[in-house]
């Protein structure tokens, strides 16, 4: 319904709405879809009859907010701080945010030079507990650094704990990272991360839905998490208690069809209880960045095989290994007994036994065959892995 609107008017109208409608408000999103941005702004400014889906009391609150909105001033303040506004019709808009439907952001305030759309195409969210353990901080930093080294953008919320460690890991590796804030991007929050967020803005991107100078609230942190989930190909959770906000991000990722990934912690740790709950459901367990990339990346981006040390017996051909495994641990056995255990013919068993004797694995005892002392260690090690 707003086709033909001037792009500058559309920009001002969306900036106006960021002062009036709360992030993630699906009623407001439905208004935009059904009536168009220009008509919704006109109705709010005029204080006309309420739009569908809200009470008179709520409508009065929205119109009171609209009387205080100054979109031109917000844009001027933003430009002074090196911040731009990116709307859904902008070439920098990440199309995957449209998956949020009526909860899609009105637009995003972006601080930093890179293109948000391009960076979001190859990004992974790393989130977790604010009051994390040393283990959680270590895993977040290692994952953040490992993902960055593999050319992936690390997205998180800029908070204390896991978020900050993930950002630092990516920055330390000389890689790309994005902080999604629950406040105006010109005023870093938490205050203790002012230096970190400023560094992210210099090397990466700081984004948010709220206009310059706006403050965070508990509900804004929660709705912010849907943006983190939607921007990225998958969400990795490191340390999260049962009621952690990080689980909100993970569940949003699940609803959006994104990968949900968990890093396990000690079974006795309450801080990992939420992660373990995810892992019992649809989440995938990972232990390093290579495994994350294998999950979220393109075909062929495989993690290396995980293997223990190579034992001498691993170098034997399969038939010889079966014969070796068929020998009892502490006594001699006849060829017939060994052949039955290896599920092969006696002639083949004899041929393999002579090969194994030449390699020092077995020795002849009258009519029977027995493992040598050094071979017993190798065979036991192999059986313990089966």
Which percentage of the chain shows pLDDT scores above 90? Answer: 75
Percent of the chain with pLDDT over 70: 91
**Cα–Cα nearest to 129, from 247, 287, 233:** 247
Q: Which of 264, 250, 270 is nearest to 131 (CA)?
A: 270
Of 10 and 314, which is predicted with more confidence? 10
Cα 278 off chain centre by: 13
CB 208 within 8 A of CB 18: no
Task: Give the Cα separation of 369 and 386 in Å (integer).
Answer: 24
- Tell whether the model's pLDDT for residue 383 goes beyond 60: no
User: Is there a common fold for 97-296 and 312-384?
Assistant: no
**Band of pLDDT at residue 70, cut at 50, 70 and 90:** very high
Q: Mean pLDDT: which of 86-100, 299-313, 325-339 is highest?
A: 86-100
- Our CA angle for 34, 16, 193, nearest 5°, is 115
pLDDT (tens digit per residue) in 322-347: 898 888 878 899 999 999 999 999 88
Specify whether the backbone of 114 is left (phi greater than 0), alpha (psi in -120 to 50) or beta: beta
* Residue 366 confidence class, pLDDT cut points 50, 70, 90: confident
Q: Report the alpha-carbon distance of residue 32 to residue 120 in Å, rounded.
A: 25
Q: Coil, strand or helix: which one is 176?
A: coil
Residue ranges covered by each domain of the chain: 1-69, 97-296, 312-384
Residue entry with tokens 């890179």: 114
Examine the pLDDT at 384 and tell me if it is beyond 50.
no
Instruction: Evaluate if residue 49 carries a pLDDT over 90.
Output: no
CATH 1.10.10.10 fits 312-384, yes or no: yes
pLDDT at residue 188, rounded to an integer: 87
User: pLDDT-based confidence at 306, cuts 50/70/90?
Assistant: low
Measured CA to CA, the distance from residue 57 to residue 304 in angstroms comes to 59
Q: Find all residues with CB under 8 Å of 233, minimum gap 6, and list them.
A: 122, 123, 124, 258, 259, 296
Q: Categorize the per-residue pLDDT at 5 as very low, low, confident or very high, splitting at 50, 70 and 90.
A: low
pLDDT at 378: 52
- Comparing 42-46, 119-123, 246-250, 314-318, which segment has the lowest mean pLDDT? 314-318
Per-residue pLDDT band for 20 (boundaries 50, 70, 90) equals very high
Give the pLDDT of residue 316. Answer: 78
Chosen CATH of 97-296 out of 3.40.50.300, 3.40.50.450, 3.20.20.70, 1.10.10.10: 3.40.50.450
Sequence-distant contacts of 322-326: CB under 8 A, at least 24 apart: 323/349, 323/352, 323/353, 323/356, 324/352, 324/356, 324/361, 324/362, 324/371, 324/375, 324/379, 325/379, 325/382, 325/383
* CA 330, 331, 332, 334 torsion-angle sign: negative
Q: Is the pTM of this model over 0.85?
A: no
Query: Alpha helix locations (H) across the chain?
Result: 7-20, 26-35, 37-46, 56-68, 71-80, 116-120, 134-149, 162-172, 194-203, 218-231, 245-255, 273-280, 289-296, 318-326, 335-342, 346-358, 373-384
Q: Residue 116 pLDDT more than 60?
A: yes
């Amino acid at each position: 319904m707003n086709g033909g609107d001037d792009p500058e008017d559309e920009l001002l109208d969306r900036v106006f709405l960021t002062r009036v409608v709360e992030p993630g408000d699906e009623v407001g999103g439905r208004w935009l879809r059904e009536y168009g941005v220009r008509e919704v702004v006109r109705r709010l400014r005029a204080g006309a009859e309420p739009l569908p889906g809200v009470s008179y009391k709520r409508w009065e609150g929205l119109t009171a907010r609209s009387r205080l909105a100054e979109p031109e001033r917000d844009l001027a303040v933003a430009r002074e701080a090196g911040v731009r506004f990116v709307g859904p019709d902008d070439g920098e808009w990440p199309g995957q945010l449209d998956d949020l439907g009526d909860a899609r952001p009105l637009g995003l305030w972006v601080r930093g030079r890179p293109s948000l759309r391009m960076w979001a195409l190859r990004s992974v969210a790393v989130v977790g507990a604010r009051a994390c353990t040393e283990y959680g901080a270590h895993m977040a930093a290692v994952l953040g650094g490992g993902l960055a080294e593999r050319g992936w953008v690390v997205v998180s919320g800029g908070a204390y704990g896991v978020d900050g460690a993930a950002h630092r890991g990516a920055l330390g590796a000389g890689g790309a990272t994005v902080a999604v804030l629950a406040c105006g991007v010109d005023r870093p929050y938490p205050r203790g991360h002012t230096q970190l967020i400023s560094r992210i803005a210099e090397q990466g991107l700081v984004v948010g839905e709220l206009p310059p100078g706006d403050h965070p609230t508990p509900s804004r942190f929660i709705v912010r998490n849907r943006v983190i989930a939607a921007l990225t190909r998958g969400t990795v959770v490191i340390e999260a208690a049962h009621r952690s906000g990080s689980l909100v991000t993970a569940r949003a990722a699940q609803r959006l069809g994104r990968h949900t990934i968990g890093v396990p912690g000690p079974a006795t740790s309450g801080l990992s209880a939420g992660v373990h709950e995810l892992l019992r459901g649809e989440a995938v367990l990972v232990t390093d960045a290579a495994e994350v990339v294998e999950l979220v990346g393109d075909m062929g981006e495989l993690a290396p095989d995980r293997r223990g040390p190579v034992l001498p017996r691993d170098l034997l051909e399969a038939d010889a290994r079966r014969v070796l495994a068929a020998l009892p641990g502490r006594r001699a056995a006849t060829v017939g007994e060994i052949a039955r255990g290896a599920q092969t013919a006696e002639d083949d068993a004899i041929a393999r036994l002579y090969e194994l004797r030449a390699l020092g694995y077995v020795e002849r005892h009258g009519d029977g065959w027995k493992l040598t002392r050094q071979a017993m260690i190798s065979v036991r090690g192999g059986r313990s892995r089966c």
